[in-house]
Structure 1
Amino acid sequence: MMRYIWIALTAALAGCGGGGSDSSSGSSSESNNITCEPAREIFSSPTEKAAGVYLGYFEHIYETSTTREGTGILSPSGRLMFFANNGLVTGLFSLPEPSPVDGTSTFDGSVKLWSSEAAADSLPLNGYLTGQGGLSANCSSCDDARELLEPVRSYRFEAQYGKPTSNVCLSSVDASGSWSQSSGEETTTITIDANNSFTGSDSTGCVYSGALIDHRIEGGIMDINATISNCAKAGEFTGVGSILGDSQESAHFIFGAIWSDSRVVVLSLEK
């Protein structure tokens, strides 16, 4: 039985964007002084420069195939999540130097595939990132195995870098205060302080603590480190997220995911 929390997303994902580096605190007093830069203008390594929000579609294959619109987040540290209503992949990888001919980086690695249809699977990741910001990945060995044995679980996603509609990053807004999300009868509330550390709990008794690692780049890309205790899903979690909003003054939504070896928690926090 797959163990996870599945949170329905809202249309707030329409205005997202790019990735970044050193951590810092956010406060409303400095919001007008922060410029959120694209990751490609701040960093030098291929993985860091590619950080951002990617918008496209996700195909989940298990007995039958379903395809849904999806959203991906890649952080400068190489943490990756790609989410759609029919599945989610999470993982960590690094991009090689792009081809001098066409600017494409071909990569491989491993991810965890989560869905409501089967237990979580660890699968290979094979893909490429074009110089124009196109991201494509799948499990090619799964396709090979499919010819020999059915059913074989697999995935595929295609996406394009999502340029944000506003200059929002974690440092440019005041993220401190109370944030919450609900899924069915379960409600989770966390409080973020001025240093981007957080504590919280949910209605099942779980206790949360951790930190948002601010990269000061467009799209509000952040790494997330969290500890969950006092309940069945207790453990150490890593993840990635994005803070969204129409402007620096109105950022009101944190989207992302945190994961351990056995669980994933999708974040859909509203202020």
Structure 2
Amino acid sequence: MKINFQGAEIHYSIAGEGEATVMLHGFLESSEIWEEFLPEFSRYGKIITVDLPGHGRSGCLDEIHSMDLMAEVVLEVMKTTGVKKANFIGHSMGGYVGLAFLEKHPGMLQDFMLLNSTPQADSEEKKEIRDRSVELVKRNKPAYVTMAINNLLSPKNTGKFSEEIEILKERALKFPTRGITAALEGMKIRTNKTEVLKSFSGNKILVAGRQDPLVNIKELKQLAEESGCGFISFSGGHLSYIENKVQFIKLCISSKK
């Protein structure tokens, strides 16, 4: 399924009926990461997945895809599908988009899971890394995609999930260079959403990998406490939906039974 948003095609999917859950993928990912979960999850409600701008089959909107802009894309998908309130599960960048959505449309969220994500803004060091990444993508997209995705797993899981990593890389290499750089620019300028998360009265949980190379688990645990969020940590890195597939499924459906 698709909609037109500001002249670009945005692709999304729907599975199941009942209470809606919006699942948002991370950077260099697409809605395809959720496909294997849909048969199980859709038994408990309606599942909406979205290819965020410049990722998957969705087109690019601008030179910068801010988290606010991506959140408006999600809003348009929800309006199109007639969903007025939903649970959100956001992996990494998808969590940033979910937080931007929460800030603008708090009454439309019911439960919120941040998966391998954080409400914090980029540090100055991280912003510099984003800038270097943009230049590398423009010079050599394959090299950047390979390096970035290879670095997502914990060291012990690198060999164990090599097939899954190759699939992620194969998909990401098809994304337009402009889509990748626009997302990097958008993540760089996002603001701290800790207070937004703190003020949200719905059920909220932060899920972290104990060996995540991108998110500091100690800081995230402290943020969870400050924000009144539940906190769960899994062994592994930044791809808990791959590295801890069974536990992730159980966690997602536990509140739906």
How does the TM-score come out when normalised to structure 1?
Answer: 0.24
Which one has a larger percent helix, Structure 1 or Structure 2?
Answer: 2
Higher strand share: 1
TM-score computed with the length of structure 2 as normaliser: 0.25
